[in-house]
Amino acid sequence: MEIRQQALQILCIRDPAHKAEAITRLYQDLQETKAQGLALPLDPQAQFERPAELPGRPEHPRLLSALQVPNRSPFTREGRAALIHAIAHIEFNAINLGLDAVWRFADMPQQFYLDWLQVAAEEALHFNLLHGHLQTLGRRYGDFDAHDGLWTMAERTAGDVLARMALVPRTLEARGLDATPPLQAKLAKAGDTRAVEILDIILRDEIGHVQIGNHWYRHCCRERGLDPIALYPDLVARYEAPRLRPPFNFSAREAAGFSEQELAYLRG
C-alpha cells in the first residue's frame, strides 16, 4: 500500500499502543526497503479525502483548555504521575502530527515524507517509554485530563505546509527544548531518575525533530521566494500562535538549526 495512505490509516487508529506499534512497524519496513535498494511505494501527488474523525484517539483523556488543566507538582506520587501523563499526552499528539504531515501535504520531496515518518516513529518510542514509566506509578494514559494545544495548531495550519512547519515543529515543539531541562531538574529533585533518563532521550530526539521543521520551513520559503525571518512574525500573528517566552535553551535551539539572527532575537 502507498506510504501516505498507510500514514492516514495509522493516524485514524484510536488505541495509542496500537498506533505506536503500527507506525514503528511501517518505519522499520521502509528502512528495510531502502536498504534493499527498492523503490518506495510513495505517491507525492496523491490526494486523500479527510476522514470524519481525525485524529484517531481514545475516549480518555478528557480534553480541556490549557487554562483548565491544573498545575502538576512532581513532589507527590500523584502529582508526578499527572506530570508524566501530561508529557505522554504531548508525545501521543506528536505521533499524530508526524503522520498528519505525511498524508496531508502533497507535492513535497520524498525526503519530506520520510523525515516525518521518522519523527512519528520516534514519538511513538517516547510515548511508550513514558507510558511504561507511568504504569510504575499506578496510572495509565487517559487517567488525567489533558489539553489539545498541539492539535489545535495543526488544524489551524492544515491548509498550508509552510505555516505548519513554522508553527508546529519550530514553535510549539521547540518550546519543549526550552522546558525540558528545568523539568528534569524538578524530577531529579523529586528522586525520579527514570523520568530524567527518558527526558534525556526525548530531548536528544526533539532537537532532530525541530531541525527537520527548520529545514522544511526554509525549503518552503525558498520555493515561494519568501524571507523566513521576516515572514515568521506575520505567521505567528495570522495563526494566533503562542508568543515565545524565556528561559530559552540556546544550545539546543542552535543544534536544532536556528540561525544566529533568530537566536539573537530571542536573546534581545
Condensed to tens digits (0 to 9), the pLDDT of residues 101-114 reads: 999 999 999 999 99
Can you give the pTM of this predicted structure? 0.96
Q: Which residue has the cell 502533497?
A: 106
Is the bond preceding residue 246 a cis peptide, omega within 30 degrees?
A: no
CA distance 133 to 156: 33
Cβ neighbors of 95 (< 8 A, separation 6 or more) are 19, 20, 23, 120, 123, 124, 127
Quick one: average pLDDT of 239-258? 94
- Which range has the worst mean pLDDT, 52-56, 148-152, 254-258? 148-152
Cβ neighbors of 257 (< 8 A, separation 6 or more) are 210, 211, 214, 215
CA 22 to chain CA centroid, Å, is 17
Q: Which three cell numbers stand for residue 71?
A: 498545575
Is the bond preceding residue 228 a cis peptide, omega within 30 degrees?
A: no
Where do runs of H (alpha helix) occur along 105-173?
A: 110-136, 149-156, 161-167
Q: Which three cell numbers stand for residue 149?
A: 494545544
Q: Contact at 8 Å (CB) between 68 and 25?
A: no
Q: Contact at 8 Å (CB) between 84 and 134?
A: yes
- Tell me phi and psi for residue 7, to 5 degrees: -60, -40
Condensed to tens digits (0 to 9), the pLDDT of residues 200-218 reads: 999 999 999 999 999 999 9
Condensed to tens digits (0 to 9), the pLDDT of residues 170-198 reads: 999 999 999 999 999 999 999 999 999 99
Question: Is residue 258 predicted with pLDDT exceeding 80?
Answer: yes
Condensed to tens digits (0 to 9), the pLDDT of residues 68-99 reads: 777 878 889 999 999 999 999 999 999 999 99
pLDDT of residue 164: 98
**What DSSP designation does 170 have?**
I
Q: Contact at 8 Å (CB) between 128 and 71?
A: no
Q: DSSP of 187-210, one letter per residue?
A: HHHTT-HHHHHHHHHHHHHHHHHH
**What DSSP designation does 83 have?**
H
Query: What residue segments make up the domains of the chain, in order of their start?
Result: 3-44+74-267
Beta strand ranges found along the chain (DSSP E): 63-64, 146-147
Quote the Cα angle for 216-18-84, to 5°. 75
Domain at 3-44+74-267, CATH class: mainly alpha
CA distance 8 to 23: 11
